[in-house]
Amino acid sequence: MQHRIVVLGAGYAGASAAGYLARQLHPDDFEITVVNAEPDFVERLRLHQLAAGRELRHRPLAEVFAGTGIRLRVARVADIDPVHRTVTVVDTAGTDRIDFDTLLYTLGSSADQSVPGVADHAFHVAARPSAVRLRARLDALAEGGNVLVVGGNLTAIETATEIAEAHPRLGVALATGGELGGWLGPQARRHLLRAFDRFDITVHEHTPIGRVEPSTAIGTDGTVLAADATVWAAGFAVAPIAADAGLAVEADGRIRVDRQMRSVSHPGVYVAGDSVFVLGENGHPLPMSCASAGFTGMQATATIIGDLTGRKIKSTALSYVGNHISLGRKDAIFQLVDGDARAKSGALRGRPAALVKSAIVATSGWAISHPTFGKPSHRYRAAGSRDGSTEVVAG
């Protein structure tokens, strides 16, 4: 009987992990199924560009996984039973159950909509449907319409600058609870502020938003900011599926794992991406980010392969070298950080940084679309299989 591996989610962490597992594990011993709510791979790093009017490449998951042996199930995950090892999914045909022996949980995150009015009146760029709705809203606004981006993180900065560049007829503002770019080094922050001045983006620092209404956003201090479109980029949140399933989670719902990305409460469950809570090399929790998806996905797949085949588990470093921030299409910042993730004084800025950022994003998309990388596959057999050998075949 084949060992059933089920991967929940096909974002940056899930899609790459599934492809890697398919290339490394022998199909006679292992069956891999990917469950994803959408039929396409979504380049979340580019959703702010989609919202601003740019077209993104269509990447159907059926084509991505073609020839890999991976089974794709387009459905929404409704429930997980980690004790009986089943996943309940819902699709256009109704409700179904998928059995698993090993589960890789990579359902990611979406915008944190806990602030009153956000779910009803705000847009976000953490999922394609909302980005598409925001795009339609921006196109419909009359000249001089007000767009307010809420948040001071990378997503907020990239969204505000992309919209301002693509829609110069609109007034763009950003409200943040702290200091804009306060975590950046001096060179990078000066460059960021110059970019905001160039795009004529109004900045409201130290203005946390406590409520969103149809045409305004209300600060916690009572400040009223006009907004024909409010874009919420003030943090991410994970779905309650893991907590509801009884997995050990942190207060924010992220799943607690050991250093090898195994659930600390349920054997056979592994986690990667935004849904995982794990400490980095600096002793601090990894943030929700594409880079974290890469680190944790690599570690999770290495652990799964090691646990199932008896091979030594490779250790992936959980550390950052820097942060990339796009400032429209032709400008960017690459802020270098030290081992404690604190900004260094130096930073790559301007067009060179934009070219590096574009190359990284393009490479990520290409890698997802080519899960075998055109390389031979090392088909590892399951521990305890008939011969336990490693067969090398054309990928």
Would you state the pLDDT for residue 317?
86
Number of independent structural domains in the chain = 2
Q: Does 197 share its domain with 133?
A: yes
Contact assessment for residue 302 and residue 173, using Cβ atoms and an 8 Å cutoff:
no
Q: Does 262 share its domain with 388?
A: yes
Q: Does 88 share its domain with 179?
A: no
Does residue 346 fall inside a structural domain? no
Does residue 326 fall inside a structural domain? no
- Give the C-alpha separation, 17 to 295, whole Å: 11
Q: Which tens digits make up the pLDDT trace of 22-74? A: 999 999 999 999 999 999 999 998 999 999 999 988 899 999 999 899 999 99
Domain residues for 19? 3-109+238-319+371-393
Does residue 340 fall inside a structural domain? no
Q: Does 98 share its domain with 116?
A: no
Q: Which tens digits make up the pLDDT trace of 298-336? A: 999 999 999 999 999 999 888 777 788 999 999 999 988
Where does a domain end: 211, 232, 253?
232
Does residue 330 fall inside a structural domain? no
CATH code of 260's domain:
3.50.50.60
- This prediction has a pTM of 0.92
How many beta carbons lie within 10 A of that of residue 384, not counting itself? 10
Does residue 208 fall inside a structural domain? yes
Report which DSSP code applies to 288.
Answer: S
Contacts of 362 (CB under 8 A, 6+ apart): none
Sheet containing 30-36: give its strands across: 71-74, 30-36, 3-8, 102-105, 269-271
Does residue 61 fall inside a structural domain? yes
Where does a domain end: 169, 203, 232?
232
Does residue 15 fall inside a structural domain? yes
Q: Which tens digits make up the pLDDT trace of 172-201? A: 999 999 999 998 999 999 999 999 999 999
Does residue 383 fall inside a structural domain? yes
Q: Does 271 share its domain with 209?
A: no
Where does a domain end: 232, 249, 274?
232
Q: Does 244 share its domain with 216?
A: no
Q: Does 142 share its domain with 260?
A: no
